[in-house]
Amino acid sequence: MKEAKIGVIPGDGTGPEVVREGLKVLAAAADSVGFKYETVEYDIGGDRYLATGEVLPDSVLEELKALDAVFLGAIGHPDVAPGVLEKGILLRIRFELDQYINLRPVKLYEGVETPLANKGPEDIDFVVVRENTEGLYAGAGGFLKKGMPDEVAIQESINTRRGAERCIRFAFEYCRARDKGRKLTLCGKTNVLTFAWDLWDRTFNEVARDYPDIQTDYAHVDAICMWMVKNPEWFDVIVTDNMFGDIITDLGAMVQGGMGIAAGGNLNPEGVSMFEPIGGSAPKYTGKNMINPLAAIAAVQMMLEQLGRADGGSLVEQAIMRACAHDLESMNAGRMGLSTSEVGDLIVRYVLESGVQPDEKHTASKAAANGPGPLATEHKPEKERS
């Protein structure tokens, strides 16, 4: 019996390279904890669009709805006009699978360099809960007199009570379950955007009454950008809308060491969720075996957690932390000291070493005690899964 059927969309640019490493690690973690799954790969992205004109066939979308999770590499192609693939694939999946939460952990691991002076892993460990189906992303608006001198372009932010409430409620629940600082900060703009953020603010305060154990706070989005740089230790969980969430999570990615390590989950807690490295397709590094696959591997960790296999997720996170602390020279493409596939092999080795049964532990811990030596090749997952 398979526990999970996982859709894989390698996508564009470096997507396929990092997905390959993510799948190697998934196989290793699954072997270690006895998790059975199968994968179905979908050829979706810029190349397919350029070859056939198809962006995301309805039939594929229907198939995705029947899966347990989706693992996505990257969407975005230099030869395709901006918006075609982003809206046609990424946003369409988020919307039609009603993945109303975009969960983005910002966690600095030991050994990873942050651009923030005098801040370390004890200061940088928070999570952004981004609303993922509404706001400015809803696509409301249009042109009037397009191309004419008095052209008008309107782009409206759609905020529903239900949409804000389910996102805020998720954030409170998540904050409680995470049990770290028990503090939830609403990130908005109540001083200018007085309709949308009035609704969010009222909803936030009403929902807060159900969570007396969670301390609440509010900050305007511009101030959040300032505090994320100056005092990141103030944050535990931040909840915000789609657009602000998009912006502050790129800042968050930099704070945690760069796009090479930042992962996110597009969650439908009642349905099918999709996990991705948040860095994009990085065309300049494509095919060079230089891109950092840790973000994709961290996405696999989040996927395992969402699939109810926190045991497997934790093995993956421990392995990432070990590699960050001892083996990787930097998080940046081409400067890691290892190639893309070597980083994947290393994480696989670490997952298998910490995932062994107690009676095998003696030999494994001896191997581990030898430290980050040459990459093991003997610890390949038992069978390569397709």
Q: CB under 5 to 8 A by kind: which of ligand IPM, Mg ion, none does 86 bind?
A: ligand IPM
Note whether 171 and 239 are within 8 A (CB).
yes
List 250, 285, 288, 311, catalytic entry? 250
Residue 148 φ then ψ, to 5°: -95, 165
Among 17, 21, 134, 246, binds Mg ion (CB under 5 A): 246
For ligand IPM, the closer of residues 90 and 316 by Cβ is 90
Candidates 204-212, 243-251, 299-307, 369-377: pick the segment binding Mg ion (CB under 5 A): 243-251
Within 31-90, the residues that bind ligand IPM by CB under 6 A are 86, 90
Nearer to ligand IPM, 90 or 138 (CB): 90
Residue of 2, 43, 222, 361 marked catalytic? 222
Q: Please, are residues 88 and 80 in contact by the beta-carbon 8 Å criterion? A: no
Rounded to a whole number of angstroms, the minimum distance from the CB of residue 246 to Mg ion is: 4
3-state secondary structure of 207: helix
Q: CB–CB of 17/297 below 8 Å?
A: no
Nearest approach, Cβ of residue 102 and ligand IPM (Å): 7
Gyration radius of the chain over CA positions = 21
x/- contact string, 89-128, with ligand IPM (CB under 6 A)? -x--------------------------------------
| Residue 384 C-beta: closest distance to ligand IPM, Å | 29
Q: Is 250 one of the annotated active-site residues of the chain?
A: yes
Crossing angle between the packed helical segments 161-178 and 196-208, to the nearest 10 degrees: 40
Write out the binding residues for Mg ion, residues 337-356 only, by CB under 5 A.
none
Contact status: 241 vs Mg ion (CB under 5 A): no
- Out of 19, 80, 116, 278, the only residue in the binding site for ligand IPM (CB under 6 A) is 278
**Rounded CA gap, 386 and 379, in Å?**
18
Angle at alpha carbon of residue 275, lines to 271 and 276, rounded to 5°:
155
Which CA distances in Å does 327 have to 293, 330, 338, 363, 373?
14, 9, 8, 21, 9
68 is catalytic: no
Instruction: Determine contact, residues 109/257, Cβ cutoff 8 Å.
Output: yes
User: Is position 187 an interface residue for ligand IPM (rule: CB under 6 A)?
Assistant: no
Q: Quick check: is 137 catalytic?
A: yes
Query: Minimum CB separation from ligand IPM for residue 240, in Å?
Result: 13
Least CB distance to ligand IPM at residue 134 (A):
12
First vs last C-alpha separation in the chain: 17
User: Which residue from 22, 40, 19, 41 is spatially nearest to 30, judged by alpha carbons?
Assistant: 22
Let me know if 236 is a catalytic residue: no
8 Å CB contact between 142 and 306: no
Partner residues linked to 102 by β-bridges: 130, 266
CB under 5 to 8 A by kind: which of ligand IPM, Mg ion, none does 90 bind? ligand IPM
φ, ψ of residue 319 to 5 degrees: the values are: -65, -40
189 is catalytic: yes
For the bound state, the minimum distance from the C-beta of residue 242 to ligand IPM, rounded and expressed in Å, comes to: 7
Query: Which is closer to ligand IPM, CB of 88 or CB of 111?
Result: 88
- Which has the closest alpha carbon to 280: 288, 291, 265? 291
User: Taking a C-beta distance cutoff of 8 angstroms, is the pair 170, 129 a contact?
Assistant: yes
Under rule CB under 6 A, which residues in 238-277 are in contact with ligand IPM?
Answer: 246
> CA-to-CA distance for 8 and 11, rounded, in angstroms?
9
Partner from ligand IPM, Mg ion, none contacting 30, C-beta within 5 to 8 A by type? none
Nearer to ligand IPM, 17 or 246 (CB): 246
Minimum distance from CB of 48 to ligand IPM (Å)?
17
Contacts of 197 (CB under 8 A, 6+ apart): 188, 189, 190
| Interface positions with Mg ion (CB under 5 A) | 246
| Interface positions with ligand IPM (CB under 6 A) | 86, 90, 246, 278
Q: Which residues are catalytic?
A: 137, 189, 222, 246, 250
